[in-house]
A and B are shown apart, each in its own frame.
Chain A
Amino acid sequence: MFVGLPIVMLLCASVSGESGFGLANFQRFLTDGLSLPVLGRTLRLGVETSAVALVLGYPLALLFVAAPPWLQKPFVLLIVLPLLTSAVVRTFAWVVILGRQGLINETLLTLGVTGAPVPLLYTEPMLVVALAQIELPIIALPIISALSAIDPRLHEASLELGGGKWGTLLNVTIPLSLHGIIAGLLLVFAASCSALVTQSIIGGGRLIFMPLYIYQQGMQAQNWPFAAAISLVLLVAVLAVAATLNAFGRLATRRLHV
């Protein structure tokens, strides 16, 4: 009820306007030339962040599963710690790393690679890296549970039969942990599309993404109907990507079992 009612309210608000009921707010979103690029940038951010998080998170999960049992408990806590620390704190860490006098710039200056600080904050690539780090736990955890469920004898059999390390990874491990990968990608995608704080602190004022756009229209411009329409567009876009990924996962898994 707490979840359903607000969405119904969003729906009602988005079709209402000063001139009565209608799809004017959605029409504005599609035609004003400002909103669509914001949506595109947000979805691109989600895709790029998910990709970077997967490239780091999958090896992390492989290491976790290979670790001896006594090491696994501290390992889980290491993975969970960033998840429990406040998002503002985690984002703040990246301000310290990326700032003009931050870790990276001080290192580059000391090494003489650059003469002046490189602008890193407020750039999209660095936002992707920071978000990927912040979301790393939520992609690693589902992959870890998928990997732990694989029978280790399959792995051994593939190696014994000459599959090699890479061959085993590609033909045995990845297909069998595909549902974990999909679940993790989904979570990271959804989280990075709506990471208001990180987007606006690391991205700065020039890079506007959907969440800030909703907030600006809703609270600063007090245009609730349009803000509701933007919310719904974001919601539908995220759910559509989620459904596509899920369908792909189901298809791939079915092929695997035939």
Chain B
Amino acid sequence: MSNLSPSFRAPTHAALRARVDHWSYVIVVGGLGAIAIVLLASPTLIVLITSFTSAETLRFPPPGFSMRWYQALISSSPEIVAAALVSLKVAASATIAAVVLATAAAIAIFSSKAGWARIADVVLMSPVLLPALSLGLGLLLTFNLMNVGVSLTTLVIGHIVICFPFVLRTTLASLAQINPALEECARDLGAGGWRTFAHVTFPLARGGIAAGAFIGFMASFDNVAISLFLADARSEVLPIRLWDLIESVLDVRAAAASGILIVATVALMIAMERVAGLSRYVR
């Protein structure tokens, strides 16, 4: 339809320009997009491949393949296994607490729209904009003032702060999709507040809560900044343990541990996609 444009040049010239326009666009945008896709996937694959190396170093491509680093990880690395257990325990407790608090908060915010919506906005944005390290230091100062020493409990409290916004966000999103007539029906039929919540609201919001719990769990499991400040010497978490391994000696066991984490993440992600429709909540 290039004849619609006010071009006084010969049509062949316009056609050529249109072709150059089209192909340069396809090459540049398609090319950059393709690079982005390769960049998204390849580091994960590279770590997976490296974790099966038979060599002592992180040479890539590996000279040969073996399971030796996975064996080393399982049989002779009690400190890594212990750190993984601490991380699991902290992330699980923080997620459970955050789910309870965030669900209650989401329902409160949702039923009193006025001023709360703005506050909710601030809370939702704060952990992504505030450097987590500042938050960690601030929490440490707070505990210190209250004469509370760092322990597993302070660590969990710090991680609740990390988890909370993720659960709040997805729960608010799924509450917004519930038809308010359903809750009214339940009330009109004589169900009290709790029964309405248990039989109507919760089942309908379950997907959002589950998706938020999953994302919050992963964020907590991954968190370094808060743990650096709030953990005591006995409760070292996995990411800090791995960081140490990578920074000091470039230990190949870090690749094996990463391999396990990657496989577990992919498996959980696919499971959550099936159960809760995860991809609806991340966009």
* A200 interface contact, C-beta 8 A: yes
Return A102 CB to nearest CB of chain B, in Å: 5
* A81 interface contact, C-beta 8 A: yes
Contact among A59, A85, A242 with B30 in the assembled complex (CB-CB below 8 Å): A59
* B156 interface contact, C-beta 8 A: no
A83 to B44, CA, bound (A): 11
Known A-B contacts A57-B36, A77-B269, A77-B273; the reply to A211 vs B225 at CB < 8 A is yes
What residue of chain A has the Cβ atom nearest to residue B41's Cβ? A78
Return A39 CB to nearest CB of chain B, in Å: 12
Query: B residues within 8 A CB of A197?
Result: 224, 239, 243
Query: A residues within 8 A CB of B282?
Result: 76, 80, 83, 141
* A97 interface contact, C-beta 8 A: yes
Chain A residues close to B by CB (< 8 Å): 2-3, 5-7, 9-10, 12-13, 55-60, 62-63, 73, 76-97, 99, 101-103, 106, 133, 136-137, 140-141, 144-145, 148, 160-162, 164-167, 169, 186-187, 190-191, 193-194, 196-197, 200-201, 210-211, 214-215, 218-219, 224, 227-228, 231-232, 234-235, 238-239, 242
The answer to whether B35 touches A56, judged by C-beta atoms less than 8 angstroms apart, is yes
A101 to B269, CA, bound (A): 32
Contact among B29, B39, B137, B273 with A62 in the assembled complex (CB-CB below 8 Å): B29
* B180 interface contact, C-beta 8 A: no
The answer to whether A89 touches B133, judged by C-beta atoms less than 8 angstroms apart, is no
Main secondary structure of the interface of B (DSSP, over half): helix
Main secondary structure of the interface of A (DSSP, over half): helix
Chain B residues close to A by CB (< 8 Å): 1-2, 4-5, 7, 17-18, 21-22, 24-26, 28-37, 39-41, 43-44, 46-47, 50, 57-61, 123, 126-135, 137-142, 145, 157, 160-161, 164, 215, 218, 221-222, 224-225, 228-229, 239, 242-243, 246-247, 250, 254-255, 258, 261-262, 265-266, 269-270, 273, 278-279, 282-283
Query: A residues within 8 A CB of B43?
Result: 82, 90, 93-94, 96-97, 133
Known A-B contacts A85-B261, A193-B131; the reply to A92 vs B239 at CB < 8 A is no
